[in-house]
Amino acid sequence: MTQIEREEMEFDVVVVGGGPAGLSAAIRLKQLAPDTTVCLIEKGSEIGAHIVSGAVIEPRALEELLPNWRDLNAPLRTQVTEERMLFLTESRAIQIPYLDRVMPHMANHGNYVVSLGEVCRWLGEQAEALGVEVYPGFPGAELFIEDNRVAGVVTGDMGIERDGTHGPNFTPGMILRAKQTILTEGARGSLSAHAMKRFGLRKGVDPQTYGLGVKEVWEIPAEKHRPGLVQHSFGWPLDDHTYGGAWLYHFGENLVSYGFVTGLDYSNTYLSPFEEMQRTKLHPAFREHFEGGKRLIYGARALSEGGFQSIPRLTFPGGVLAGDSAGFLNVPKIKGTHTAMKSGMIAAEAVFEALEKDRREAASMTARVRDSWLWSELRDVRNIRPAFSKWGMKLGALYSGIDSMIFRGRAPWTLHHRHGDNETLKPASLCEKIAYPKPDNKITFDRVSSVFLSATNHEENQPVHLRLRNQAIWKTVNHDVFDSPESRYCPAGVYEQEKTGENDWNLRINAQNCVHCKTCDIKDPTQNIEWCTPEGGGGPNYPVGM
């Protein structure tokens, strides 16, 4: 095979990922050392194009990073005015009283409902104003390793044909050399996974566990709009052994952010997170918000839910992990933006010190995290998410209240995550099928029309970026044992099982539909599905509002 000659660019620091963590890291680096050369790459077509979140922002980290954010016209415009937590039965909604006492982590006083994509675009502008070189449409395809240390990243090749040959418009990726590399790719990042495996960063910590967030943005009649309303729910439609729930936020100009998170440690192979999200809209507590409205945007993304117990070692030779790549989401708060930003700032400070002292590894990263409010915040809620896995929804909620009100996060024990999410499915023969309602195309919809609203696109002549490592395993395990769970857990209709003969089945992969949520990379029972980095700019193109 002909060796590809690649152009090289050299920087002091390369940041991979244009989300809150990566942008905060880049900004903080330039604040600390204006002459430091910083390059940030993002696989989406623009900053914010791949961002999916509720989102309610706690402005604590933003205040630290950019104290004058109000003067800089930051897009935090809708302050929380009303909040409620509902326990749902099939027909009723029971409001949890004294929310700030029973679930103090859920309290949103002083927080803002935002479009996180818009916030990231704004952060990108601040980074560029400080001199950060921001390159959207450049995916990090692989780590660039020299002398057993990360010395930068290699961006993806463009113009490779489906058969693997170089097409007429082939452009090789570049080597972006760096003295230090900061990985902030979000949940289940490809380069982050490579770094964890190569340098043993996950030794001695719990497996990471994930949730899948599926989201819609609606425009509703002005007379129904209640800016600042924040509503969360748990209970129905999920059974007692499945973690998850819905959110609904009123923000902006007659906009509603609605979504549903399903814990990916669920066991029923017939469960569909997309369908659970759709049917929750039919509940009286939610339906009234959508009637007369119009669905504008759709998207989905996995989020890291393991918390404190699942945070890996954060440093490796030549770089650090930050944001949801490392798993800094505060699950009980249902917030990860402020923690991602803080971890990015800490990463920048540790990397700055390493550059100043010409060190191979930004060794102070861990100590800096431990000395920050980020560490204590995650430590104090460490038992809440695993309590739901251990005891179920109702007892888990009861324990959460006890942990919050009595122990205040200082219980003398730590509950653990025992299994990866790919290990929890039960065989189809042991599962009850779920009868989901058909879409009415007014309140509820199918996957095809939903993916259309994500503006997802992949050049069709490029190699398929979703592959089976072993086709035979799919037939004998996924189909024969679990009845093709990927056809249900994928929120974009990428996977379809097709009957090709009397007893023959095949898996059809519609890779062009992929919204880069990473669920297949997480939930496949044998980890047989390989999610590869597609060409830059591919995937969803979420507009402002998401």
| Cα 155 to Cα 138: distance, rounded to the nearest angstrom | 6
**Which residues make beta-bridge pairs with 219?**
255, 294
- When pLDDT is averaged across residues 55-65 and rounded to a whole number, the result is 97
CA distance 371 to 352: 17
Domain spanning 448-531: which CATH class is it, in words?
alpha beta
Residue 98 has pLDDT above 80, yes or no: no
- Mean pLDDT across 88-98: 92
Q: Residue 176 is which amino acid?
A: L
pLDDT of residue 24 exceeding 70: yes
More confident residue, 97 or 281: 281
Q: Mind listing the pLDDT tens digit for each residue in 460-503?
A: 889 999 999 999 999 999 999 999 999 999 999 999 999 888 88
Give just the sign of the alpha carbon dihedral 368, 374, 377, 379. negative
CATH architecture of 8-69+117-205+312-381: 3-Layer(bba) Sandwich (3.50)
Is 428 exposed, middle or buried, given 0-12, 13-18 or 19+ CB atoms closer than 10 A?
middle
Mean of pLDDT values over 209-220? 98
238 token code pair: 């999920």
Q: pLDDT exceeding 90 applies to what percent of the chain?
A: 89
Q: What is the mean pLDDT of residues 96-124?
A: 89
The per-residue DSSP string of 288-336 comes to HHHTT-EEEEEEEEEEE--GGGG----EETTEEE-GGGTT--BTTTTB-
* Backbone φ and ψ of 266, nearest 5°: -65, 160
Q: Which pLDDT score, from 0 to 100, does residue 1 have?
A: 41
Task: For residue 314, give the nearest of 365, 351, 270, 377 by alpha carbon.
Answer: 365
pLDDT at residue number 2: 56
pLDDT band, very low/low/confident/very high, at 459 (cuts 50, 70, 90): confident
Here the tokens at position 474 are 């799919």
Residue-averaged pLDDT of the chain: 95
Asked if residue 228 has pLDDT above 90, the reply is yes
Question: Of 97, 306, 86, which is closest to residue 188 (Cα–Cα)?
Answer: 306
pLDDT at 383 over 50: yes
pLDDT higher than threshold 90 for residue 424? yes
Residue 401 clears pLDDT 90, i.e. is over it: no
Closest CA to 525 of 480, 464, 492, 466: 480
Comparing 101 with 361, which gets the higher pLDDT?
361
Out of 163-167, 307-311, 375-379, 429-433, which region has the weakest mean confidence (pLDDT)?
163-167
**Neighbour-count burial for 295-334, b at 16+ CB within 10 Å, e otherwise:** bebbbbbbbbbbbbbbbbbbbbbbbbbbbbbbbbbbbbbb
Higher-pLDDT residue of 76, 403: 76
**For position 12, what pLDDT does the model report?**
98
**105 has pLDDT over 80:** no
Task: Give yes or no for residue 544 having a pLDDT over 90.
Answer: no
CA-CA-CA-CA torsion sign (103, 109, 111, 115): positive
Q: Within 10 Å of residue 112's Cβ, how many Cβ atoms?
A: 21
The answer to whether 44 and 120 are in contact (CB under 8 A) is no
Q: Which of 480, 481, 487, 491 is nearest to 509 (CA)?
A: 487
**pLDDT at 423 exceeding the cut of 90:** yes
Terminus-to-terminus CA distance in the chain, angstroms? 43
In the chain, what percentage of residues exceed pLDDT 70? 99
Cα(281)–Cα(297) distance, integer angstroms: 15
Q: Give tens-digit pLDDT for 294-329.
A: 999 999 999 999 999 999 999 999 999 999 999 999
Positions marked active-site: 53, 301, 337, 490, 514, 517, 520
Query: In terms of residues, how long is the chain?
Result: 546
| Domain segments of the chain as ranges | 8-69+117-205+312-381, 383-416, 448-531
C-alpha 470/C-alpha 524 separation (Å) is: 13
